[in-house]
Amino acid sequence: MSTTTNSPAVSAGSPTKDPRRAALRGGILGYYADQFDIFVPIITLAPAMIYFEPADTSRTTAALITAAVFAATLLARPLGSAVFGHYADRVGRRITTMVAVAGFGVSTFLIGLLPGHQHMGWWAIVALIGLRFVGGIFLGGEYATAVPLAMEWSPARRRGLASGLITCTSPLAVASIAGLSLLLLSVMPPDGLHSAYVQWGWRIPFFIGGLLGIVLFFYYRRNVEEAPAFEAAQTTGSPLRELLGGRHRRALAQVFTLMTGAWLLTNIAAAVLPATLKSDVGLTDRAVSIVLLISSVVCVGSFVGCAVLSQRIGRRRFYTGFGIVAAVFASACYALLTTLDANDLVLVTLLSVGVQISTISLYGPVAAYLTERFPAAIRATGYGVGYSLALVIPAFYAFYISGLATIVGNALAPVVLIALGGALVAVGGALGPETKDVDMTAHTTPDTVS
């Protein structure tokens, strides 16, 4: 007989008196650490990349190296999601979460110990990208395990809010990195290869990211227990094979469409926008950090607001509408942004906030939506693969922008990708069923419920 998430039973000797809150806190802390480790190179390493690059590196080559560092993690995450999702569905979410958080903690810490080009030549960049790839495998495992565990403990009526509280840690992590980078840059300006920031200041955020993973390991070990939804699940074969075959292929294809659009929007907002603010608008590294800090703090609220809104109007209507808003409003904000310069700092900040809110805020309900979209027996695999497999195509955004620039120009190339990303989110949302009231212990997807 299955146990519902609305009436959790706490066994004798349970590691916590309130397993719902413990799992939710774990999901929040885990997602924060995940996002911190993902975005720390974009903001922290940007002023210090000369440490890893040859002195004669061209602007184009430097941009491709930066994109490769970011893309290495994104490309590894589908592999990590498939592997860890499989074990999460077979042996449990809790134990696989512990392995995943320890893995990405160690990988991130090791990056902070890397020597630069002056010591290793091109091997410095190879080592940086390699460790980002390894870390990406574990990061893909973390959200494929910790998030489903937290959502399975959440009552249906509160899943939207719980999702928002988990995912809002993404802009919070970016704000933390931006604030920390701003502090470090103020104390130790990156004035050339031998400056303190370039030589060792950039390492501090990586050490912090590594420690977060280790802290999470002990938190899950001592406080979090398995959810009744997993205990009620009946996995008879390979979760990945079940996901890719038969009735679940439609759900995966629909999620893939939506998340491909989501990741296109994310890459523009998280990776391209900071570069545009610096190279095209002409902001200093310090000013870019301030703009990102402000926009990220605002997005913490917009994530929660979007998640709560999806609980009221439904996930399907939310994503269909949000995609349209992104395609129109975010595109307009970005296009206008490229016409400004550093003297228009207030307007630049407002438009940057507009771009961020109307692109990445769609992640507010995503933890709830993707876990609701797949049955308990393959939920971790479905969530992880659906979330991260869509990373692959958008991961090559730098090449798309380079190609589009020959047609529409450098300024409008990101605008085209924003419009495309918004359209895919709207189509993906419209193709899917409503899920907000789904039973998390059910053995069927919403597609198969009459």
| Tokens, residue 95 | 């134990």
Residue 360 confidence (pLDDT) above 90: yes
pLDDT in tens, 60-89: 777 778 778 877 887 888 889 888 988 888
* pLDDT attached to residue 270: 83
Please state, in angstroms and rounded to a whole number, the distance separating the CA atoms of residues 73 and 130.
9
Residue 293 confidence (pLDDT) above 50: yes
Q: Which residue has the higher pLDDT, 189 or 100?
A: 100
Q: Which residues contact 139 (CB under 8 A, 6 or more apart)?
A: 34, 37, 38, 73, 76, 77, 80, 100, 104
Residue 16 confidence (pLDDT) above 50: no
Residue 183 confidence (pLDDT) above 80: yes
Please state, in angstroms and rounded to a whole number, the distance separating the CA atoms of residues 219 and 68.
33
| Tokens, residue 371 | 């876990």
* pLDDT attached to residue 445: 61
* pLDDT attached to residue 407: 92
Q: Which residues contact 114 (CB under 8 A, 6 or more apart)?
A: 52, 124, 127, 128, 131
Residue 448 confidence (pLDDT) above 50: no
Across the chain, mean pLDDT equals: 86
* pLDDT attached to residue 266: 92
Largest CA distance in the chain: 67
* pLDDT attached to residue 341: 86
Residue 5 confidence (pLDDT) above 50: no
* pLDDT attached to residue 231: 61
Q: Sorting pLDDT into bands at 50, 70 and 90, what band is 7?
A: very low
CATH superfamily of the 19-448 domain? MFS general substrate transporter like domains (1.20.1250.20)
* pLDDT attached to residue 256: 95
What does the domain layout of the chain look like in residue ranges? 19-448
104-108, 206-210, 225-229: segment of lowest average pLDDT: 225-229
Q: For 150-155, what is the mean pLDDT? A: 89
217-221, 286-290, 335-339: segment of lowest average pLDDT: 286-290
Q: For 356-377, what is the mean pLDDT? A: 93
User: What's the Cα-to-Cα distance from 71 to each of 349, 364, 380, 406, 432, rounded to whole Å?
Assistant: 26, 23, 23, 23, 28
Residue 243 confidence (pLDDT) above 90: no
Residue 422 confidence (pLDDT) above 90: yes
* pLDDT attached to residue 232: 55
| Tokens, residue 112 | 């902070």
pLDDT in tens, 29-49: 988 988 888 888 877 887 888
17-26, 50-59, 114-123, 251-260: segment of lowest average pLDDT: 50-59
Residue 9 confidence (pLDDT) above 70: no
Helix (H, G, I), strand (E, B) or coil at 376: helix
* pLDDT attached to residue 10: 41
Find which of 282-286, 369-373, 383-387, 408-412 is predicted with most confidence, using mean pLDDT: 369-373
User: What's the Cα-to-Cα distance from 29 to each of 71, 99, 147, 219, 254, rounded to whole Å?
Assistant: 24, 15, 10, 10, 29
Burial of 250 (0-12, 13-18, 19+ CB in 10 A): middle
Q: For 153-171, what is the mean pLDDT? A: 92
Report the amino acid identity of residue 41. Answer: P
pLDDT > 70: percent of the chain = 92
* pLDDT attached to residue 359: 96
* pLDDT attached to residue 418: 96
In degrees, to the nearest 5, what angle opens at C-alpha 386 toward C-alphas 274 and 310?
75
Q: For 230-248, what is the mean pLDDT? A: 71
pLDDT in tens, 378-393: 888 888 888 888 888 9
Residue 14 confidence (pLDDT) above 50: no
* pLDDT attached to residue 414: 94
Q: Which residues contact 411 (CB under 8 A, 6 or more apart)?
A: 280, 335, 338, 339
Q: Sorting pLDDT into bands at 50, 70 and 90, what band is 13?
A: very low
* Helical packing angle, 345-360 and 413-431, nearest 10°: 30
> Could you give phi then psi for residue 112, rounded to 5 degrees?
-65, -15
* pLDDT attached to residue 1: 34
Residue 230 confidence (pLDDT) above 60: yes
* pLDDT attached to residue 8: 45
| Residue that has been written with the tokens 């212990």 in this structure | 441
* pLDDT attached to residue 447: 65
* pLDDT attached to residue 2: 36
